[in-house]
Structure 1
């Protein structure tokens, strides 16, 4: 297996960015002692830079780009912050473009980052999907997709295992004795589809009939309006699995306005684990995504591809964990 810049950085006890500064003689100064450690590690490992990849990178700006679907959504803000911190630790500034759910805007940001020749791109697609992978492939720019599937045959992905996480959430509601469980899904993106799939698998495994499934946007207003649709059923659910925390927070307000007790009349478990979920009343039970690990893994994978000059298509899935609070009937300790 070829020695990479990351291998040199580990042996020298420094970052891949500092190794790059030594190899390229800039753009930042490296302390003499650190430079000596890096040069010794290069010699010990026999590291040889990929000449063609290095030549291509020398024509690129020393920065990373990221496209997100909705800058107002706290989950995307938290994930962006984790990625920015991981990139900063490695000496890379991160430029973020907010697509705001608009495909034309998403395309424009991707093209802007390509035109500005950032070293690599991270993307959570709102609608364009595989088009991002095609554009980056044509521009010979490495790409890592997050949260939503873009094109596993063309680019690397770092995702939360939404199917398994949804199963855990629904199993938890079943464990509280619920047999009529509905689902509030998001729009037609892979994340929402996977969570609905996990919901259905958990019910099927328990021999429980599927409850009403309503599809909306991922926002709080959509969650508020969806509650009446979910309860407008001959056998209304006593519990609801919600595919995003923002939707669930809107639903909790709708339940309060309708005079429903949560969890007495209606239990709720959501998905994302955003910071604000702990401040609802009752506290929102949710499947917490490992945003810090996702950010670290995505940046490491992107920089490894930049270093090698070789794409690494495929999917890495990380597990979510249940954060149980009062909305499902667990102790509501703040």
Structure 2
């Protein structure tokens, strides 16, 4: 088997220099020497012993990611973006799907920590105080979607401006002339759902409209829940003329409900979702949605996870969102070319 001595001999450098190149430190290596080592590695088809390297460096070059439900297109998109960014930095990603089960989420946390991953990213809709009870502070942690990580001052958080995005969506529906706007949300203990409810309520209050309790449905972030809730709302004695859904997943359920009830979108009921998943561009009409900057959120989460471990104070960042006004809210639907590319979409900040 080819070893580091062989690589060093072929490159004409010391074994220590080969080690510095493979481990990206701890000492700098000149570009000339680095290129010699990389060329020798390629010529000899050398594959480092990652297990031995991990034991020496105390790094596994792996990151654990736990998501609430990877069947949800938004979480699948976010996981893919995190994996891409981690891979570009030389890290492998271990994915755990909690499937909405808190015990399962805890199990993944413990399993990844036992495997000594170099860091954990947890995308969680539950109160993050529960994370503190299952977390080993020796493993860096970044939480996506919540900013209140109680008892964990060193933990960084990354999230979208849930309240602001919901407020903008509701204000947009008000500008279309709607006065009775329903709100579909997730579980009552979900931080994003609570914040999106607050944004919807604020927008109605600012417009002098009633955020009536009968317009709100606390449910789950699924298409079926969106469908059932919308059927209930739209078939009532005093149905809303517009619906803001806390996720695109739920909004697709609303579109299906409208069709089942013989209602036209947006003429009889306008719909705006939240997340900006790719599928929103393929419904009929196209789904208006509040788009999250998934790539930026993913890159920042990985960056914060891998920052200098001597930084003991957590960083908390909120990303602004963009409202994509499309056919389902009453705006002109963007056209597509013969290749399927969108020609003109209306974006409202």
* TM-score normalized with structure 2 length: 0.78
Aligned CA distance change for structure 1 residues 234 and 57 (closer, same or farther; 3 Å): farther
User: Against the structure 1 CA distance between its residues 100 and 157, is the aligned structure 2 distance closer, same or farther, given a 3 Å change threshold?
Assistant: same
The question of 1:226 aligning with 2:260 is answered: no
Q: Equivalent residues in 2 for 1:122-141 (5 A)?
A: 122-127=121-126, 129-136=128-135, 138-141=136-139
Indicate which of 287, 291, 294 corresponds to 1:288: 291
Alpha-carbon distance in structure 2 between the residues aligned to 1:322 and 1:57? 49
Distance 1:77 1:311, change over 3 A: farther
- The answer for the alignment partner of 1:5 in structure 2 is none
Aligned to 2:23: 21
Q: 1:232 and 1:185 mapped to 2: Cα distance?
A: 19
Judge conservation of contact 1:86–1:296 (CA < 8 Å) in 2: yes
- Counterpart Cα distance in 2 of 1:187 and 1:33: 57
The separation in 2 between residues aligned to 1:298 and 1:256, in whole angstroms, is: 39
Distance 2:127 2:304 in 1: 22
Q: Does 1:313 align with 2:314?
A: yes
Query: 1:62 — aligned with what?
Result: 61
- Report the 3-state secondary structure (helix = DSSP H, G, I; strand = E; otherwise coil) of the residue aligned with 2:119: strand
- The equivalent residue for 2:74 is 75
- Residue in 2 that maps onto 1:117: 116
Change (3 A) 1:195 1:128: closer
CA positional deviation for 1:82: 0.8
Q: In 2, are the aligned partners of 1:101 and 1:127 still within 8 Å (CA)?
A: no
Q: Distance in 2 between matches of 1:34 and 1:203?
A: 64
Q: Report which structure shows greater RCO (CA 8 Å, sep ≥6).
A: 1
- For residues 306 and 74 of structure 2, the distance between their equivalents in structure 1, rounded to whole angstroms, comes to 23
Aligned to 1:241: 244
Shift, 1:206, TM fit: 0.9
* Structure 2, gaps ≥5 residues long: 1-19, 36-53, 336-349
Give, in whole Å, the separation in 2 of the partners of 1:80 and 1:88. 12
State the number of aligned residues.
293
Alignment of 1:142 onto 2:140: yes
Q: 1:89 to 1:235 in 2, by over 3 A?
A: same
Which residue in 1 is equivalent to 2:331? 330
How far did 1:19 drift?
Answer: 8.2
Under a length normalisation based on structure 1, what TM-score does the superposition of the two structures give? Answer: 0.82
Q: Which runs of 4+ in 1 moved over 6 A?
A: none
1:125-178, Cα deviation, whole Å (9 max, x unpaired): 254732323433x34111100123451652211000000001100010011111
Deviation at 1:20, TM superposition (A): 8.4
Is 1:181 aligned to residue 192 of structure 2?
no
* Alpha carbons of structure 1 residues 176 and 233: separation in structure 2 relative to 1, 3 Å: same
- Contact preservation (8 Å) 2:248, 2:275: yes
Cα deviation, residue 182, structure 1: 1.0
Shift of 1:205: 0.7
The answer to whether the Cα contact below 8 Å between 2:132 and 2:151 also exists between their aligned partners in 1 is: no
Deviations along 1:83-129, one digit per CA (max 9) or x if unpaired, are 11111111111111001011111011000110000011000125473
Deviation at 1:187, TM superposition (A): 1.2
Considering only CA atoms, is the larger Rg found in Structure 1 or Structure 2?
2
Secondary structure at 1:327's aligned position in 2? helix
Q: Whose helix proportion is higher, 1 or 2?
A: 1
1:163-210, Cα deviation, whole Å (9 max, x unpaired): 000110001001111111111111131001100000000011111111
- Match of residue 84 from structure 2: 85
Equivalent residues of 1:133, 1:150 under 8 A apart:
no
